[in-house]
Structure 1
Amino acid sequence: MGSFQLFGKELQSLKNRKGLLIALIGVMLIPIVYVAVLLSATWGPYDNLDNLPVAFVNKDAGGVSGGQAINVGNDLMETLKESNSLGWHFVTEEEAMEGLDKQEFYLVVEVPEDFSQKVTTVLDANPQVPELRYIQNEGLNFMGAQVTNSAVEKLREQLGDKITATYARTVFSRFTDIETGFASGADGSKQIADGTEQLADGTNTLLTSLTEKSADINKLAAGAKTADAGAGQLLSAINGGTGDINKLASGSRQVASGATQLKGGSQQVLAGLNSLKGGSTEIYTGLQKLQPGSENLLNGLQQLSAGANRFYAGIALGDGTQGNPGLAKGLNQLATVLQSKQADIEQMAQGAALLQTLAQAPGMEAYRENLLALSAGLGELGTVYPVAVQSANALSNGANQMAQSMPALTAGIENAIAGQKTIVSGISSLTAGQGQAVKGIDALVAGQTAVVSGASTLAGGASQVANGNASLTSSWNKLGAGVSSLKSGLTQISTGNETVAVGWKTMTEGVTSLNDGVNRLQAGSSELVTGLEGGREQVAALRITDENIAMFSSPVTLAGEKVNAYEYYRDSTAPYILSLALFVGMLVLSMFVDFKKPAVLPKSAVSWFVSKWLQLALFATIQAVLVTGFTLVVLQLSVDHVVQFILFGIFVSIVFMSIIFFLVSVAGNIGRFIALVLAVAQLSITGSNLPIPMLPENLQAVSAYLPFTYSISGFKSVISLGDLSMLSSNALVLVIYLVAASVLALIAFIVSYKSLTTKYTPEVQPTA
């Protein structure tokens, strides 16, 4: 059966399955519903701005500019009431904040109370810039935030125009004052011209007087210079003796300071000796108390040595009498005796069993109880005797070890006795020496007391000498300061007289120049009178109108044009919406139509693939025709090239079908998931929301490999750009996707065909 026959069987199988056919019709309508919602002519971000709730709070108290009352806040509010740029709500500050907290307002604009007042400060020395405050609730919607950003910027421009007009009106209102000022200036300059004539006469008289007194001023300067030289010689002599006076005062101060330190040190030494005396006495008393205790300790060690010797004799040697050979020897003999009798005890223990047997014999009833008791005693003796032997051996070993340790112990005690004898002798000698030390310290304390008394006398005398020298130094310094002041005064007088002489000469020259300047001033004031009168006439000729003020407030207007303009916002999104609708339509179709299962068993993998591809291409074509036709007829989308628009829509639908056909044929539901991920990945990086050049470089590189990039660009070329060459280049890239996806799907069908005959039971067997 050929490919086209198999294709006919596929369509016939759909005819016999009414439920699937209805589902297919519904799937075909999904893209239409998609574009119907998103391509509505009134669906755009700027189509319903007057429904966007924003709050306006006017707290402006107004101001006065150029003698006229102004209120920029009220003017702006009246303008906004007549505008439908946004859904303005004119409320109080409390209502605005409450609405913002309840998420009712996207924007709150507030005109502060001092807005107009700050506007009037334009010509002040420190003008204040008015501030328009706003709070934007960006979290409600990002696009809403962008719209309100634009609205706030337009408000700023409107206020800027109004404020500039106010500035211009204020400036122009001053022209009358300027005209009056020019007139007053002309009158004043005429009076200046008259005054300069009188000033010229005065400067001539002053110049004559200065010239006559120049000789006397020079004599005064020479005399002051001679007096300054004599005062300098006197000051030099006084300064020469100041060093010796200062050295004498400094030395006496050092002597007084040393005597004071000697006095303080002597007192500290005396206090230390007193402390040493008390400590030495306490040490002597302690040594006297320590000596008896040390002698008692020596007696105790000697008694311990005697007891240890007796204990050693008792353990190792006994007392030498018959039957008392010593503890160690006695325990050794006991252990030897017990060991020698152990064999006999073991034999007796073995006889315990015989006694039990004998007690049970007939005729032994009268002796049975005694025999059993004897047998138990023998058994217990056999158990206890080995323990006794072991204990005797242990005691013997311990006594031997103790006997071996006793010589070392007695030797240590003897050494302790010898050391303690040395300690007793040392304490006796130390006690005698400490008694002599106490007597020596008493004598040292008496001598140091005399030193302290002498140091006090020395410190008093040194202080009196230092005070006398300090008074002499102070008087000498005062004398030097007085002569220095005299020298400074004479220097100032000399310098001043020289300055006066120079200044007198300079003043003479200055008066000469002043006289020349007065003459020029007289000529210039006449010219100023002429200029001010001409300026007054020019200012009077200015007549400022509202048109002039409008020109100052908004001096530039924009003049531009658009090419390939969109009539509606939906025109800009149509390429993206159509691409997404066609892709999603084919993806949903894959959930209802089996992309691989044939209606009948095909004779080859190629015929199987071709029949399925033709079936899905038919569905893709129908879907594209419905979507493009609905867009053109019902939505009335404006398209530059209608025929190319329909044909490109069919082509794009078939390309997307081939891609999904390949993914589903190879991976089933996993392929559908990959197709969904592919659609999501293309939402923002294929030129739908942002131009591709505005994307990061890595995303630009990715977008070059996504089919939406070329379908969107192709739709743009036929909808709004009218560029068929651009359409051809994008279609060529999509052909590559179509061929690649179809070839890969064919390979998948070839691989699957090998197992089709074993795993597939056809609904209709192929005819012979």
Structure 2
Amino acid sequence: MKRILQIYKTDWINIFKVPIALFLIVGLMALPSLYAWFNLKASWDPYGDTSGIAIAVTNEDEGTHIQKGDIDKRINVGNEIVDSLKKNKKLGWVFVSKEEAERGVNHGDYYASLLIPKDFSAKIATILEENPQKPEIDYSVNEKINAIAPKITTTGASGVVAQVSENFVKTASEAIFTIFNEVGIKLEQELPTIRNIENRIFELEKRLPDIEQAGNKALAFEKKLPEIRKQSEKVIELEKKLPEIKKAANHILILEEKLPKLKEVGDEILVIQQKLPEIQKAADRIVEIDQNFYKVESTLNKAIEDAKKAAGIISSAQQALPKLEQIAKDGSDFANGLNEFLQKNDGAFESLAPIIKQNLLLLQQTADAVTQITETLKQANIDPKPTLEALSFLQDRLSTGVKVIDRTTNLLTKLNKYIPNHPLDHTITRLHAVKTNFEKQISTIQAIKNTIERGEQPAKTIVDNLNALSKDASDALGGILSRYDSEIVPNINKALDQLKRSAQNASDVLQTAQNQLPDIKAILNDAAFGIDFGQQELIRLQGNLPEIRAHVHEVAQSIQEKMGRLTEGINAAASFVQNDLPKLEPKIHQAANFVRQDLPRAEQEVHKVSNLIQTKLPEVEAAVHKVANLVRQDLPALEDSVRNAADKIREFEKTKNLGDIIELLKNDIRKESDFLAHPVLLKENKKFPIPNYGSAMSPFYTTLCLWVGAILLVSLLRLDVEDPKGIYKSNDIYFGRLLTFLTIGVFQALIVTIGDMVVLGAYVADKLWFVAFGVFTSIVFMTIVYTFVSVFGNMGKALAIIMLVLQLSGSGGTFPIQVTPPFFQAIHPFLPFTYAIGLMREAVGGMLYDIVIKDIVFLLLFLGAALLLGVVLKEPLSKSTQRVTEKAKESKIIH
């Protein structure tokens, strides 16, 4: 604890010693607050002054003249709307022509436009007609200008519609109740007529049984319609099948045309039947390979063991070279030392020829593997993922092959100097050509990979080019291998013998022997590289052996299982060719003649019958259904209505007085119309009132600025401590410097929370708790961000920024979390912002202590997790973090 406090004390002494450092620290304390204040001020009351939002209004309403009964009036609702908007200052209404409105909205001069069409008043007047039409106001909005303005303009446009609707309801209801008033007066005059209608209803009630009997007959006929429809649908279904029938008929004609070729195929089947014994022998050979596969494994294991031995021999020779070079430098006994070296390491030189041959064989296998994958690339639908993996693997093998060719040609070039007439020139030239070929294959494969990654099919030309390159490389390597044992090996041995003889005879000429040492060293290095390549390829092949063995075994089992069925199938096909095909041929000709001569006439008849069913039958069905539906649906309702009407009249006459109804229709017109225009009033009850939008957003921006402040500190201040004596442990440095960061973080929280209330005048219900919660949140955030960077270095800064980005959308600070995508809803409970913003909101709007306790507990969990992470991982990862930091500094762009 003493060392931690010493680091903390030293930090502040150093800060106060350097004025510019003190100025920077004070700036870091205040800078996050500016971020919060500017954003809060900008969003303080975004809807307080919308009069500058220009909305174009065009009135083309021509008005209308209403003549209905006693109504004779000229109206123009469009002019009334314009007059009302001129008095409305909530939005910037601009009254322009239709063309100007369209131009202005397109170019952003107006956020939206309202067009009152010519027939607006005329459609409103249709309320008095049998089929009323709803009038429309054309609303256009330019949503690309601003994200919020369209919402405001839409609200303004809806307000216009609501105002027109309210006025219309009030006016219409006044007219309706006026008519009711008049109806009440006229009812008194029409009482005799009403009594006459009552008598007719009672008469109709008596005749209902006769009507019901007629309806039952219509229903009985309707029940037979499905059977009629079922029979007719068979004809229609037959017509639908005609294309398939014609298609099948065409296949019969094609079959007739292909009969000669079928006979040829039959002859081939008979030939295959004769060769079944040879096919059986080949199958048995594969089974034999499967049974003796262990010999392949044994041979490969021996090859790997031989390669290891060769590598050991060459490694021993390489280890002995420095001693020989030292002897050469000393000058004395050099010739004896050289001879002794050559004698002891003679095995290393003898392994050169087998190593080169082994590597040439592996290079040829690489070329053949590229040839095989080109067959896959020619398929119509290739699977991108495994194909890309195979191409990348072959690219790596080709790149390694280029290096192997370089080392091999260097080795052969050095050996070639020691042979008269340089007989290895042709081999070296061919290897250079193979290297160029491999490089072209690498670039071609990369182009194919790029095409597949774009989701496209590789072009046939580029695949064919890769196929040709791989085959050329394989042929070239095969040519070298074909004369390797007979020509190249003797020349390699001759060169090695000459090199050894020159070295053994070098006792008289010391400088000549010293000049040969680089050749010996280069030959051994090239041989070591070749063995290493061969070992890797053999080990890779050994790793693939189980899979190869499984494939061979699978093929062998498949052959054993299916060979019998194959033989049976071929024998059955041969029997069909010999016995059934000659009988089938006349029947095919007979069917083909029917298709050519009789099928067209039958098709015409089917079309005629189907057309009659489809055109006339629906009309008959519709008429029957209409009558039946009337019986099923309307007749019962009609009967019920008639009976109910009769019952109601009888009941009404017993309990009600028509005079009372007439008096009801004479009620106050204005009061009733006002009730219809405003039937329900909204009584608002605000639980936790916040007077403005800026105060409501202060929890989010205050919390956000505290996280940003923590990121600023870890980006600008050092997290390591100078310790020339090495007295501080990792945890001492972690907690000592953490106290310094927390002190600055506390001041950041004090400045922003007090500034929210004093500088901006933000509303806060519990001011002291608002400041306290801000300080607590800053401590939690600073500990989290500090621990990330202290433990993980620059990667920790990236983690802090990633968490900031996720928390902006996933914390519910601006929009409700329920309207965000599922991903952010899923991570919402695991983000510190979620609980920090909730805690600050409780202080702003009014606290519920159970919510406060929950948020504090979760923030304490985040704080504890961060401290645990720092204590557990700081020391184990300190060296790794330091190395990563030093490597990053080497870029001269990352500090």
TM-score by length of 2: 0.44
- Give the stretch that moved more between structures: 706-715 or 86-95: 86-95
Superposed, which structure 2 residues align to 1:81-160 within 5 Å? 81-160=86-165
Which residue of the partner structure matches residue 52 of structure 1?
Answer: 53
**Change in CA separation of 1:159 and 1:750 when aligned onto 2, cut-off 3 Å:** same
Tell me the residue number matched to 1:22.
23
Tell me if the contact between 1:604 and 1:753 (Cα under 8 Å) persists in the aligned partners: no
User: Is 2:181–2:666's contact at 8 Å kept on the other side of the alignment?
Assistant: no
1:627: how far off? 0.8
Shift of residue 177, structure 1, vs aligned partner? 5.3
Counterpart Cα distance in 1 of 2:879 and 2:793: 18
Per the TM alignment, residue 732 of structure 1 is displaced from its structure 2 partner at its CA by 1.3
- Per the alignment, residue 590 of structure 1 pairs with 714
1:72·1:162 contact (CA, 8 Å) conserved in 2?
no
Q: Give yes or no for the alignment of 1:746 onto 2:751.
A: no
Return the offset for 1:666: 2.6
User: What is the rounded CA distance, in whole Å, between the counterparts of 1:68 and 1:558 in structure 2?
Assistant: 36
1:730 paired to 2:859: no
* Segment of structure 1 superposing worse, 575-584 or 699-708: 699-708
Distance across 1 between alignment mates of 2:690 and 2:745: 29
- Which residue pairs with 1:678 in the alignment? 803
**Residue identity in the other structure for 1:725:** D
Cα distance in structure 2, aligned partners of 1:602 and 1:662: 22
Which one of the candidate residues 827, 831, 843 is aligned to 1:718? 843
Residues 734 and 790 of structure 2 are in contact (CA less than 8 Å); yes or no, is this contact kept in structure 1?
no
Contact 1:661 1:745 survives alignment (8 Å): no
Change (3 A) 1:117 1:701: same
Deviations 1:215-252, CA, capped at 9 Å, x for gaps: xxxxxxxxxxxxxxxxxxxxxxxxxxxxxxxxxxxxxx
- Is residue 41–residue 568 contact of structure 1 (8 Å, CA) maintained in 2? no
Displacement after TM superposition at 1:16 (Å): 2.5
Shift, 1:181, TM fit = 4.3
The equivalent position to 1:648 in structure 2, one of 748, 773, 783, is: 773
Classify 1:174/1:653 alpha carbon distance in 2 versus 1 (closer, same or farther; 3 Å).
same
**Structure 2 vs 1, CA of residues 600 and 567 (structure 1 numbering), >3 Å: closer, same or farther?**
farther
Counterpart residue identity of residue 20, structure 2: G
Point out the structure with max Rg over C-alpha. Answer: 1
Could you give the per-residue CA deviations for residues 107-156 of structure 1, whole angstroms, max 9, x where no partner exists? Answer: 21111111111111112112121112211212222222222232232222
Distance 1:540 1:148, change over 3 A: closer
2:710 is the counterpart of 1:705: no
Greater CA deviation, 744-753 or 635-644? Answer: 744-753
Number of residue equivalences: 425
| 2: CA distance, partners of 1:187 / 1:552 | 33
SS at match of 2:128: coil
Question: Does residue 667 in structure 1 map to residue 668 in structure 2?
Answer: no
Letter in 2 for 1:136: V
Once the two structures are TM-superposed, the CA of residue 553 in structure 1 deviates from its matched residue by 2.4
Q: 1:186–1:532: 8 Å Cα contact kept in structure 2?
A: no
Whether the 8 Å CA contact 1:655–1:738 is kept in 2: the answer is yes
- CA deviation map 1:312-335 (0-9, x unaligned): xxxxxxxxxxxxxxxxxxxxxxxx
**Paired residues for 1:616-631 under 5 Å:** 616-631=741-756
CA pair 755-676 structure 1, distance change in 2 beyond 3 A: closer
SS of aligned partner of 1:108: strand
Distance 2:813 2:822 in 1: 17
- Please give the secondary structure, in 1, of the residue aligned with 2:809: coil
Q: Residue 676 and residue 538 in structure 1: after superposition, are their counterparts in 2 closer, same or farther (change >3 A)? A: same
Counterpart of 2:675, as a letter, is M
- Paired-residue identity, %: 27
Q: Identify the residue that residue 544 of structure 1 maps to in structure 2.
A: 669
Letter of the 1:733 partner, please give it.
F
Shift of residue 585, structure 1, vs aligned partner: 0.9
Gaps of 5+ in 1: 197-523, 761-768
Letter in 1 for 2:18: R
2:10 paired residue number: 9
Shift of 1:676: 1.3
- Cα separation, partners in 2 of 1:79 and 1:42, compared to 1, 3 Å: farther
Instruction: Note the C-alpha offset of 1:176.
Output: 6.6
Q: Give the Å deviation of 1:182.
A: 4.1
Q: How far apart are the structure 1 equivalents of 2:780 and 2:661?
A: 83
* Superposed counterparts of 1:220-619, under 5 Å: 534=659, 538=663, 541-545=666-670, 547-598=671-722, 603-605=727-729, 606-619=731-744
Q: Could you say which residue in structure 2 is the equivalent of 1:216?
A: none
Structure 1 residues 170, 617: closer, same or farther in 2, change over 3 A? same
Question: SS state of the match for residue 126, structure 2?
Answer: coil
Is the CA contact 2:123–2:135 (under 8 Å) kept in the aligned structure 1?
A: yes
Structure 1 residues 185 and 689: CA distance shift in structure 2, 3 A = same
Q: Which residue of 2 aligns with 1:636?
A: 761
Give the direction of change, closer, same or farther, for the CA distance of 1:748–1:559 in structure 2 (3 Å limit). Answer: same
Determine the C-alpha separation between the residues in 2 that align with 1:654 and 1:188: 89
**Inter-partner Cα distance in structure 1 for 2:192 and 2:141:** 60
Whole-angstrom distance in 1 between the partners of 2:133 and 2:109:
34
Q: Distance in 2 between matches of 1:610 and 1:175?
A: 87
Counterpart position of 2:502: none
CA RMSD of superposed structures (Å): 3.4
Report which stretch shifted further, 705-714 or 79-88.
79-88
Give the secondary structure class of the aligned counterpart of 2:674. helix
How far did residue 3 of structure 1 move? 1.9
Contact 1:53 1:105 survives alignment (8 Å): yes
Q: Structure 1 length normalisation: TM-score?
A: 0.51
Give 1:562 shift: 1.4
Instruction: Name the amino acid aligned to 2:867.
Output: S
SS at match of 1:138: coil
Could you list the per-position Cα deviations for residues 499-548 of structure 1 after superposition, in whole angstroms to 9, with x for gaps in the alignment?
Answer: xxxxxxxxxxxxxxxxxxxxxxxxx9xx99xx999589748944523x43
2: CA distance between counterparts of 1:74 and 1:644?
56
Distance 1:550 1:754, change over 3 A: closer
Residue type of the alignment partner of 2:137 = L
Match of 1:50, SS? coil
1:755 deviation in Å?
10
Q: Say if 1:179 and 1:700 are closer, same or farther in 2 by CA, change over 3 A.
A: closer
Offset at residue 50 of structure 1 (A): 1.8
Unaligned segments of structure 2, at least 5 residues: 201-648, 887-895
CA contact (8 A) 2:810 2:824 kept: yes
> 2-side partners of 1:564 and 1:187: how far apart?
65
1:72 equivalent in alignment to 2:77: yes
**Cα separation, partners in 2 of 1:92 and 1:602, compared to 1, 3 Å:** farther
